[in-house]
């Protein structure tokens, strides 16, 4: 049993009666003062604003074994307030009690911060690769793209002549058919696909099968050929528009992941930080489980 009552009487006793003796202070405290202290303590709810709560969450941080000097943040281009906020949030989340638990939470904050640095390092390596290797790749492809555009311009001119001839005559003359045969050989990879889509589109436009059957073979061939020529023209013009952009995207994609020794060093560093972080979390959980078990035992004894 405790020497002092755990609950004060509702009715106040004689004010002239001597109060209980407090050994730690070495002097008597009146019951009236004890009652006033307890009433005042019930009115104190702690900080209410977000900033006040953030500051109070750092009250447990007294020594800062893993604290970093401001100069280190400045040299590395980092914000010390972000580090302090991370540490405060971790303290608020894990609620460490005692110096061993506090040290583990400080270490956890330090390891998370180092993993963030690894991410910054990876981003910097990718940017350098895209800036140097990607730019050289684009320059190397420019000449190839220019030669392709020249050959395609010639094809586009011929296809426009074919389109105009079919539109004017409504049929495919023999000389145009020979020209188309040569164009089909050059555009073999895409011509058959576009021609198949042209036939499907023509069927949909006609709507009914008997309307197609009413056309002569020459008219049907002219319609499908005209739609095919228009589709090939659209494809070539669209390809020219996006060729440089696609080349740049390919160059970036090739170097978006670091390669060589840089990647090996990054993987080893991240693996080490993650392993240490996992160990720190395990130690913290063991300390807190042990503390909770001791509290349960003490409460059971009381």
**Torsion over CA: 236, 237, 242, 244 (sign):** positive
pLDDT at 91 over 80: yes
pLDDT in tens, 51-63: 555 555 545 444 4
| Calpha distance 155→85 (Å, rounded) | 63
Look up tokens 């023209």; give the residue. 233
Question: Which H or E run contains 203?
Answer: helix 188-206
- Domain ranges in the chain? 145-254
| Calpha distance 116→134 (Å, rounded) | 26
In angstroms, what is the C-alpha Rg of the chain? 40
Q: How confident is the model at residue 131 (pLDDT cuts 50, 70, 90)?
A: confident
Task: Please return the burial class of 166, using the count of CB atoms within 10 Å of its CB with bins 0-12, 13-18 and 19+.
Answer: buried
Average pLDDT, the chain: 75
Note the pTM of the prediction, 2 decimals. 0.48
The reported pLDDT for the residue numbered 214 is 66
Give the number of residues written for the chain.
302
| Calpha distance 59→56 (Å, rounded) | 5
The reported pLDDT for the residue numbered 286 is 94
Average pLDDT in the 94-122 region? 92
The reported pLDDT for the residue numbered 206 is 67
| Calpha distance 129→259 (Å, rounded) | 10
| Calpha distance 22→181 (Å, rounded) | 110
């Amino acid at each position: 049993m405790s020497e002092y009552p755990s609950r004060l009487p509702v009715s106040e006793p004689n004010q002239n009666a001597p109060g209980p003796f407090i050994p730690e202070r070495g002097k008597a405290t009146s019951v009236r003062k004890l009652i006033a202290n307890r009433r005042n303590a019930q009115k104190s709810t702690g900080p209410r604003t977000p900033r006040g709560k953030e500051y109070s969450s750092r009250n447990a941080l007294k020594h800062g074994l893993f604290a970093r000097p401001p100069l280190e943040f400045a040299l590395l281009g980092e914000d010390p307030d972000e580090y302090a906020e991370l540490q405060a949030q971790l303290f608020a989340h894990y609620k460490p009690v005692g110096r061993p638990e506090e040290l583990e939470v400080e270490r956890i904050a330090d390891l998370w911060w180092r993993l963030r640095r690894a991410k910054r390092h990876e981003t910097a390596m990718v940017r350098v690769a895209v800036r140097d290797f990607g730019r050289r790749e684009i320059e190397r492809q420019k000449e190839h793209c220019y030669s392709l555009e020249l050959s395609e311009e010639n094809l586009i001119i011929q296809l426009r002549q074919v389109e105009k001839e079919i539109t004017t005559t409504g049929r495919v003359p023999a000389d145009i058919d020979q020209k188309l045969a040569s164009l089909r050989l050059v555009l073999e990879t895409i011509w058959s696909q576009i021609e198949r889509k042209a036939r499907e589109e023509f069927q949909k436009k006609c709507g009914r099968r008997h309307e197609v059957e009413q056309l002569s073979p020459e008219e049907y061939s002219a319609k499908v050929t005209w739609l095919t020529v228009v589709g090939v023209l659209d494809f070539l013009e669209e390809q020219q528009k996006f060729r440089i952009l696609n080349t740049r995207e390919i160059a970036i994609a090739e170097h978006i992941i670091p390669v060589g020794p840089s990647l090996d060093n990054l993987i080893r560093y991240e693996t080490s930080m993650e392993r240490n972080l996992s160990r720190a979390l395990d130690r913290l959980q063991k300390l807190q489980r042990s503390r909770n078990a001791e509290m349960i035992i003490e409460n059971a004894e009381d």
